[in-house]
């Protein structure tokens, strides 16, 4: 499938048929998500993969009772990880093990540390939140490329999700992506005309 067709044919699925995604396909999708770009390659996200029906049922009331939560195969809970210093250290390790010249690594490390140090906690959180939406975009289009349907979802209560999922305090739910096989039909696509989007 051409990328253009993936983008045009993907839609926010409202009802899934309950079939589970095969493990190999799921891992292919998780890798697409994992390879998403992020500023400084910091990857300030943690993604909880929810499969258990009981947990999905407990989450649904905290997502405006949306049926995607319980009918999907897997629910991906994209959480912001605003603890950036340890991520800087990991990126530095990654660059070293990738064989980057020691001087270049040192310069990059200083730049990243300066950038991170310049941000207060709110700025770190909004940094993480905005990076996450890049991973979300890869999730929905990546899913379609593998024959999987999806629904990005912002209509949920992050605090209640954190409680139900026993998330560590540093991982803050930002957006969901329900994935599975559609049991509905795509509505007609509507987008703003080109001249209203680009100038």
Ligand X SMILES: Cc1cc2nc3c(=O)[nH]c(=O)nc-3n(C[C@H](O)[C@H](O)[C@H](O)COP(=O)(O)O)c2cc1C
CB of 94 to ligand X, least distance (A): 29
Q: Which stretch binds ligand X (CB under 6 A): 7-15, 19-27, 69-77, 121-129?
A: 7-15
Nearer to ligand X among residue 92 and residue 125 (C-beta): 125
Token digits of residue 195: 């001249």
Number of residues that bind ligand X (CB under 6 A): 11
Q: Which of residues 162-191 bind ligand X (CB under 6 A)?
A: 175, 189
Among 37, 94, 147, 155, binds ligand X (CB under 6 A): 155
Nearer to ligand X among residue 7 and residue 111 (C-beta): 7
Token digits of residue 149: 């349907």
CB of 121 to ligand X, least distance (A): 23
| DSSP strands (E only) in 6-131 | 45-50, 74-81
H helix count then E strand count, the chain: 9, 4
Among 11, 78, 161, 171, binds ligand X (CB under 6 A): 11
C-alpha to C-alpha distance for 76 and 65, rounded to whole angstroms: 17
Give SS3 for 120: coil
Among 86, 94, 147, 154, binds ligand X (CB under 6 A): 154
Tokens 């989450």 — which residue? 59
Query: What contacts 142, CB < 8 A, 6 or more positions away?
Result: 29, 32, 33
Give the residues lining the site for ligand X (CB under 6 A).
11-12, 14, 66, 151-155, 175, 189
């Amino acid at each position: 499938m051409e990328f253009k067709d993936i983008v045009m044919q993907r839609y926010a699925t409202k009802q899934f048929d309950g079939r589970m995604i095969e493990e190999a396909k799921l891992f292919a999708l998780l890798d697409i998500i994992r390879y998403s770009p992020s500023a400084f390659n910091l990857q300030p996200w943690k993604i909880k993969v929810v499969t258990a029906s009981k947990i999905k049922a407990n989450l649904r009331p905290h997502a405006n009772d949306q049926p995607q939560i319980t009918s999907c195969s897997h629910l991906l809970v994209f959480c912001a990880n605003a603890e950036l210093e340890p991520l800087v250290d990991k990126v530095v390790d990654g660059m070293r093990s990738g064989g980057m010249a020691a001087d270049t690594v040192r310069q990059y490390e200083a730049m990243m540390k300066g950038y991170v140090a310049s941000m207060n906690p709110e700025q770190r959180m909004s940094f993480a939140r905005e990076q996450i939406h890049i991973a979300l975009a890869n999730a929905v289009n990546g899913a379609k490329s593998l024959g999987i349907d999806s629904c990005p979802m912002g209509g949920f209560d992050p605090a209640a999700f954190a409680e139900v999922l026993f998330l560590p305090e540093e991982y803050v739910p930002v957006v969901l992506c329900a994935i599975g096989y559609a049991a509905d039909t795509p509505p007609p696509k509507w987008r703003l005309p080109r001249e209203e989007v680009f100038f």
